């Protein structure tokens, strides 16, 4: 934590410091946490120092999520709590950023009287100017969405960094209009970042000792760069331009070659867009982790159609089989929504059977929460009673926990390469890390250090965690 000393001149007149303290809280997905690092960088260029103590802050920014109603309610409760900070420091500036800001816009200024600044995901460059407007006695807002903004040249400030793992944003926005999802309305249209700026950021991370990066996008598999033109123009391009375009598979290839000792992950994949080219690149490079987050959302073809997911149950199962055909030891996780509009009991059973068939390593599971402004909210009745949603969700969780536990039991006696990420939360004498397949592993510290790769043999498991011991320190295999 950096702080600014209080300085007085000889006449005892207190000078307002040129540097002020900024406190950022992030909610929701990894993209929001990555965005907060961009925000911190923009504000640092304008005299703000990030603090990790909210009572030291001159400006408090909440970078928010709008994917579900309970996420927004959490922000509202947090804003009520911050009233006490405002009473102690009347000059304190409070801002709401991100998806909730984009969804509610100036309603936030009207409903939450202590909110001074409201900024959407594409307007973070304006933050210093907007904060200055507040200091002049105004409340400020910018929620304009952009078709070009990627923050590509901004070097993020690594917040709460362990110095080992980092996020690298490769694209912004989303063109998929899933009927339940608010993201296209809060993050705008899809646009890809210049691959050279991505590679330069990864090179900088490698030079600074980072050992693992996660490439981020709402749908990384649709990444496409061909001189910065819109994707719709790509179909009209000549064959030479198409051949020179950088797809996600080509970007993965470039990033993997930066440093053979740096592990590469990516998130998130839309099933309709992942290609065999991506899978073959994963298979080729030992430093690309064998793990794909592969959201199904439902196991029913009819429900998937209502969700506008553009694939069927059978198509999804075939794609999972294809992943395991090319990358046999690939870990696969899933997103599942229980109780979507008009879902029948038989269709719920189809989702349960999908977990059995696909054998996901783990899943993120929720019951449906209608979001204002989405296609589902406009077209469909939210007609599944909440007690039914909760019961169906509980059955999905029980099914997934059973599958995860059985899969982990089969890993007893197996050896895994693990990057030591830090100290276990439950035992200060143990380290934690993850396998290639993104499964958490805990093991005794011995004489090893954070940031080292080690070979661990699994001796015991829980539903979500492997327990083992280190056999030896290792290096990742060289790239052929």
Q: Are 257 and 231 contacting, i.e. CB atoms less than 8 angstroms apart?
A: no
Give residue 229's pLDDT.
Answer: 56
Kindly report the three-state secondary structure assignment for every residue of 177-228: CCCCCCHHHHHCCCEECCHHHHHHHHHHHHHCCCCEEEEECCCHHHCEECCC
Q: Are 22 and 57 contacting, i.e. CB atoms less than 8 angstroms apart?
A: yes
- Mean pLDDT on 235-262: 88
Give residue 169's pLDDT.
Answer: 97
Give residue 233's pLDDT.
Answer: 66
3-state class of 201 per DSSP? helix
Number of H helices, E strands in the chain: 17, 21
pLDDT above 80 for 18: no
pLDDT digits (tens, 9 = 90+) for 129-160: 999 999 999 999 999 999 999 999 999 999 98
Q: What percent of the chain has pLDDT over 90?
A: 86
pLDDT above 70 for 256: yes
pLDDT above 50 for 40: yes
- Mean pLDDT on 14-19: 51
3-state class of 192 per DSSP? strand
Give residue 454's pLDDT.
Answer: 98
CA distances from 184 to 121, 260, 459 (A): 12, 35, 45
CA 104, chain centre distance (Å): 22
Q: Are 272 and 316 contacting, i.e. CB atoms less than 8 angstroms apart?
A: no
CA distance 243 to 281: 17
- Mean pLDDT on 364-383: 96
Q: What phi-psi label fits residue 357: left (phi over 0), alpha (psi between -120 and 50 degrees) or beta?
A: alpha
Q: E strands within 273-414?
A: 291-293, 331-338, 362-367
Give residue 242's pLDDT.
Answer: 75
- Mean pLDDT on 358-364: 98
CA distance 258 to 426: 35
Interacting residues of 467 by C-beta distance below 8 A, sequence separation 6+: 441, 442, 443, 458, 459, 460, 461
Give residue 11's pLDDT.
Answer: 35
CA torsion 196→225→282→200, rounded to 10°?
Answer: 10
Binned at pLDDT 50, 70 and 90, residue 479 comes out as confident
Give residue 87's pLDDT.
Answer: 85
Token representation of residue 457: 């043999």
Q: What phi-psi label fits residue 373: left (phi over 0), alpha (psi between -120 and 50 degrees) or beta?
A: left
The H-or-E segment that residue 20 falls in is strand 20-26
> DSSP string spanning 59-98?
EEEEEE--SSHHHHHHHHHHHHHTHHHHHH-TT-EEEEEE
Binned at pLDDT 50, 70 and 90, residue 238 comes out as confident
- Mean pLDDT on 314-339: 98
What is the per-residue burial (b if ≥16 Cβ within 10 Å, else e) of 221-234? bbbbbbeeeebeee
Residue among 477, 423, 415, 473 nearest 450 (CA): 423
Give residue 208's pLDDT.
Answer: 96
Q: What percent of the chain has pLDDT over 70?
A: 94
Domains of the chain: 20-142 (3.40.50.12160), 165-409 (3.80.30.20), 415-474 (2.40.50.140)
Binned at pLDDT 50, 70 and 90, residue 2 comes out as very low
Token representation of residue 162: 């362990």
| Beta-bridge mates of residue 332 | 292
Lowest-confidence pick of 154-158, 182-186, 228-232, 392-396: 228-232
CA distance 60 to 65: 16
pLDDT above 70 for 16: no
């Amino acid at each position: 934590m950096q702080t600014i000393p209080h300085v007085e001149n000889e006449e005892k007149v207190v000078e307002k410091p040129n540097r002020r303290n900024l406190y950022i809280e992030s909610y929701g997905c990894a993209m929001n946490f990555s965005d907060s690092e961009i925000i911190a960088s923009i504000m640092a260029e304008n005299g703000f120092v990030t603090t990790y103590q909210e009572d030291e802050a001159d400006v408090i920014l909440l970078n928010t999520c709008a994917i579900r109603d309970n996420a927004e309610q959490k922000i509202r409760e947090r804003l009520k709590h911050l009233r006490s900070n405002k009473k102690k420091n009347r000059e304190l500036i409070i801002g709401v950023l991100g998806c909730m800001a984009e969804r509610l816009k100036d309603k936030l200024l009207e409903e939450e009287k202590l909110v001074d600044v409201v900024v959407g995901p594409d307007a973070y460059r304006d933050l210093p100017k907007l904060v200055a407007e507040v200091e002049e006695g105004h409340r400020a807002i910018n929620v304009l969405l952009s078709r070009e903004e990627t923050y590509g040249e901004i070097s993020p400030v690594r917040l709460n960094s362990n110095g080992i793992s980092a996020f690298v944003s490769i694209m912004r926005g989303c063109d998929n209009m899933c009927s339940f999802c608010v993201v296209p309305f809060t993050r705008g249209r899809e646009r890809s970042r210049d691959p050279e700026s991505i590679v330069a950021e990864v090179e900088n991370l490698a030079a600074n000792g980072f050992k693992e990066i996660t490439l981020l996008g709402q749908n990384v598999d649709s990444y496409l760069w061909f001189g910065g033109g819109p994707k719709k123009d790509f179909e009209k391009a000549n064959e030479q331009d198409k051949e020179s375009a950088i797809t996600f598979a080509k970007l993965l290839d470039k990033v993997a070659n930066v440093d053979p000792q740096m592990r590469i992950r990516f998130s998130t994949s839309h099933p309709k867009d992942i290609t065999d080219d991506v899978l073959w690149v994963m298979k080729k490079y030992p430093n690309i982790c064998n793990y794909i987050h592969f959201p199904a959302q439902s196991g029913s073809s009819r429900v998937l159609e209502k969700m506008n997911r553009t694939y069927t149950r059978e198509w999804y199962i075939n794609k999972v089989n294809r992943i395991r055909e090319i990358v046999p030891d690939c870990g696969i996780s899933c997103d599942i929504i229980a109780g979507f509009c008009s879902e029948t009991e038989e269709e719920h059973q189809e989702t349960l059977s999908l977990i059995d068939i696909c054998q996901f390593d783990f899943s993120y599971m929720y019951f449906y929460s209608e979001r204002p402004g989405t296609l589902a909210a406009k077209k469909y009745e939210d007609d599944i009673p909440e007690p039914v949603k909760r019961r169906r969700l509980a059955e999905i969780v029980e099914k997934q926990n059973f599958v995860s536990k059985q899969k982990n039991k089969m890993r007893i006696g197996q050896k895994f390469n693990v990057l030591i990420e830090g100290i276990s939360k439950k035992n200060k004498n143990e380290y934690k890390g993850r396998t290639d397949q993104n499964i958490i592993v805990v093991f005794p510290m011995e004489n090893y250090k954070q940031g080292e790769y080690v070979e661990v043999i699994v001796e015991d498991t829980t539903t979500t965690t492997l327990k083992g011991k280190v056999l030896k320190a290792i290096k990742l295999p060289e790239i052929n």
